[in-house]
Chains A and B, each alone.
Chain A
């Protein structure tokens, strides 16, 4: 009872945190801490919106239609993918500028940054926020009825997500700058591919896109979604053990195209082997 709630908290927390963590790591590594407040603005806005909307929907006299809920979640996911994609390429060009020792011009590159930074943070957190908020109210309600375990589990799970996010952040900050851009870039592309596939699934559930029943593969038996590894795969890569054809095709196309573009004109990489091989595979 505690574990399964913790796993959900972990999954939702990771989904929300991952993009933000990489964004923060990037700003810190490129010495632009002054832009961090835009990240927290975006995160704060998303959390506040989720909490308020969740409360309104839980306790108020309004309810969201199922289709509307899925449309909002799905659309926000796809918009988030667009922004993350731009961010990846923006980071790459920023990385090149850094290697050219032209840091003075960097901050001008960030001029569209406040908007982008806040929006990426907002969307990264906001797209899963509503469902999480409603879930949160359900757990507090259970706690109010004397069953504290769901709420406790939820807190433990979210705490775990924060710790995991922190570890990813530490690891990312520790490695050298070239590696950092290479690894986080690849990671972000794969994460964004997952978000895209997830968003498409939402839109399929809302009947906005067809093919909900047409599964490309179903490995639910091998990777149960309520297992700890299923949770991690979902939390980090939005991996769904039962994936529709449309999701699979979108993921392969997106990751294939974007990763190729991201890795192609390599400006003399220091780390030679691992990353390019991964790109060929994808």
Chain B
């Protein structure tokens, strides 16, 4: 009949194609073990010899990460290979392993546990099952990148906090030198806040830390923040207060420069996170640190935030190796943060002296619970 060569909307099919391709690629994961297999160890492929009645694995344990199975069908029936998690949840599968064929299955398993493998000759039934155990931490190959990222993230964090410290201290020092006691008092806790977040780094520079943050009696010459704290809250500004302020600023400038040059390891980041919580336990929750100004809760906030930020950079590593721990950390941090924030009035933390015994007890209990989880992190992130 008639053949009208109509103009057509040719774009439709290619569009659908592109959409599906995009969907496909966005759902991809990295083949994380590309190098790990070559590097050998326990990460090599596990061979599975399957036939119509048997399903023999060369190993029934593997380390967390990408586990590779090379399945060879030596039988006469078409086979399938499955990996199940608890409750028969399919973790992954490969179908259509026909006789004489070798197929590969790569399974990304992040959490340790007991799994099951199954060959299904003839593609029927529950298959020939076997237990399969996944242990501990992921192979080095895939973790290295995450650790490197954590280190660079942490350095960026330290740099940002250092800049804030410098800016805050400059303002504070200016107020002190101008003799504006009220303003200096107002600025004091917030200027110190970044210091408390990066304290583990700052402490690594032996002589500077006591000069900036030493308490009365710690040092032959009492200087730095706490000397100015005493001047502002107790004894009034002294003749040398301006000079002390100048020295403080010079010292802070030095420490800022040095802090930015620090190259931590995953382990030192994790240990630092723990050390910050210990600071809270020994200094802030006791009210010792800010004995004149009683602004301890600000320091508490700084330490807690520093600890949390440090662990945040390690999150991908911890999640990969111990997902349950990361979950526990998240909920403990949330709990303590919420408790601490309840002591803020009009955006500013209340004085330490207004806290009741019950308040302190609640904070201590929550802090201890968090500390216990954080103390597990170093062992998890340590490079094996």
Q: How far is the CB of B379 from chain A (nearest CB, A)?
A: 29
Known: A115-B9, A205-B90. A8 touches B98 (CB 8 A): yes
Query: Does B76 contact A4, Cβ atoms closer than 8 Å?
Result: yes
The reply on B41 being an interface residue by CB < 8 A is no
Alpha-carbon separation in the docked complex, A163 to B78 (Å): 23
Alpha-carbon separation in the docked complex, A145 to B9 (Å): 46
Q: Is the interface of B mostly helix, strand, loop or mixed?
A: mixed
Q: How far is the CB of A91 from chain B (nearest CB, A)?
A: 17
Which of B101-109, B136-144, B176-184, B185-193 lines the interface with chain A? B101-109
What is the total number of residues of chain A having a CB less than 8 Å from a CB of chain B? 61
The reply on B14 being an interface residue by CB < 8 A is yes
The reply on B358 being an interface residue by CB < 8 A is no
The reply on A118 being an interface residue by CB < 8 A is yes
Alpha-carbon separation in the docked complex, A41 to B14 (Å): 9
Known: A1-B100, A65-B29, A66-B92. A119 touches B16 (CB 8 A): yes
Q: How far is the CB of A74 from chain B (nearest CB, A)?
A: 12
A207: B residues at CB distance < 8 A = 89-90
Query: Does A107 contact B99, Cβ atoms closer than 8 Å?
Result: no
B100: A residues at CB distance < 8 A = 1, 5, 142, 147, 149-150
The reply on A92 being an interface residue by CB < 8 A is no
Alpha-carbon separation in the docked complex, A103 to B27 (Å): 46
Interface size class of B (residues with CB under 8 A): 35 or more
The reply on A262 being an interface residue by CB < 8 A is no
The reply on B267 being an interface residue by CB < 8 A is no
A241: B residues at CB distance < 8 A = 124
A213: B residues at CB distance < 8 A = 88
Q: Encode contact with B along A189-205: 1 for CB under 8 Å, 0 otherwise.
A: 00000000000000001
The reply on A122 being an interface residue by CB < 8 A is yes
Query: Does A141 contact B78, Cβ atoms closer than 8 Å?
Result: no
> Closest A-chain residue to B77, C-beta based?
A226
The reply on A93 being an interface residue by CB < 8 A is no
A8: B residues at CB distance < 8 A = 78, 96, 98
Alpha-carbon separation in the docked complex, A111 to B25 (Å): 32
Query: Does B27 contact A65, Cβ atoms closer than 8 Å?
Result: yes
In the complex, besides A46-B17, A126-B20, 16 extra interface pairs with C-beta distance below 8 angstroms are A1-B76, A34-B5, A49-B21, A62-B29, A63-B28, A64-B28, A68-B28, A72-B24, A110-B6, A114-B9, A122-B13, A135-B96, A150-B99, A220-B125, A225-B123, A242-B124
Which B residues contact A (CB, under 8 angstroms)?
1-6, 8-10, 12-14, 16-17, 20-21, 23-25, 27-31, 34, 76-78, 88-93, 95-96, 98-103, 106-108, 122-125
Q: List 25 A–B pairs whose Cβ atoms lie within 8 Å, in order of A's numbering.
A: A4-B76, A4-B77, A4-B99, A5-B98, A5-B99, A8-B98, A38-B13, A41-B13, A42-B13, A49-B17, A60-B31, A61-B30, A64-B24, A65-B92, A66-B92, A66-B93, A71-B27, A72-B23, A114-B8, A119-B12, A149-B100, A207-B90, A224-B122, A225-B78, A225-B122
